[in-house]
Amino acid sequence: MEMRFLGGTGVRVSVLCLGTMTFGKNQWQMGNMTLPEVKEAIKLCLDAGVNFIDTADVYSYGESEDLLGQAIQGIRKDLIIATKVRMRMSDKPNDIGLSRHHILESCDASLKRLRTDYIDLYQVHIWDPVTPLEETLRALDDLVRWGKVRYIGVSNYAAWQIMKALWVSDRHGWVRFQSLQALYNLAIRDIEVELVPLCQDQNLGILPWSPLAFGLLSGKYRRNAPMPQGTRMQGPLKDFLPTDWDRVYNIVDVLDEIAKGHGVPVAAVALAWLIQKPAVTSVIIGARTLDQLRENLKAAEVKLSQEEMKRLDEVSARPMPYPQWMIATVGQDR
């Protein structure tokens, strides 16, 4: 398994990261993995060379972290563990957001559930429009200085929000974000407009979530075929991702051709495309079953040719917005 540095740190993480949204109760009908299955999933990943696991306090409202904490006893030092803070955890008025109060309380709660003394990567889950940015970043800096957290990351921020946060951190001499966890896949390439160039410029590692677009790129969905039943697209999040079905089918057609040439599942090619994209550090793979996880792990062995990458880039391309198209066509004269 290839290892890459996490942002501007000296820590190396595997190009595949185990996502844990399916650990615990069937939240949003994403999965329902029990402790024995969680332990087996982690063993499969370790055997494949994965050393990176991502969770969040809100996943099954703490149960995902709790199951992960139980499963990593005795092997904690071999893993890089990431979790997140920001989402509502109860109906209490301050059990949400990125206030100093909620961050410090949530970090201690995550540490307890994870049964560990430190969190390798502590990520803010989404922008908090109410809490001053300085309050959030100072609290995160304190957690690093106290040894409870080693590095911090950001998720689901706009480019201007990340850049503002980096400026505030630099101005005060506080620790900086080292990674961006963002929605990124062949069907949804929005982050390439602003966020990818920002991460390249500021040396943030990109951690794509939903790399198979809730299974749309797994090969289960085919043109002129019945919709598969019991999938995420029939669950409560079925309208969460914007879906252009004709475009999805066109992408899957090309994925299928390339997958047959490599002798791997369609999903493995979709994941391999992401692994080979600029600034991507580690692709977060979730799985509802151990068989799905085994198939997804094969992506680390797939090396796509330049021609195969080009075919996938072209079939999934979207029109470039202004000013990006003007920068690309007129601003490259230096």
Both structure tokens of 46: 């370790």
Catalytic-role residue among 59, 122, 151, 184 = 59
Q: Is 151 a catalytic residue?
A: no
| CA gap 27, 207 in Å, rounded | 22
Both structure tokens of 274: 């992401």
Sheet of 205-209: strand order equals 205-209, 177-183, 149-155, 119-124, 80-85, 52-54, 16-19, 283-285
| CA torsion through residues 321, 328, 207, 132, sign | negative
* Residues ≥6 apart with Cβ < 8 Å to 223: 249, 252, 253
Both structure tokens of 84: 């997140």
Residue labelled with tokens 């109906």: 91
Catalytic residues, which ones? 59
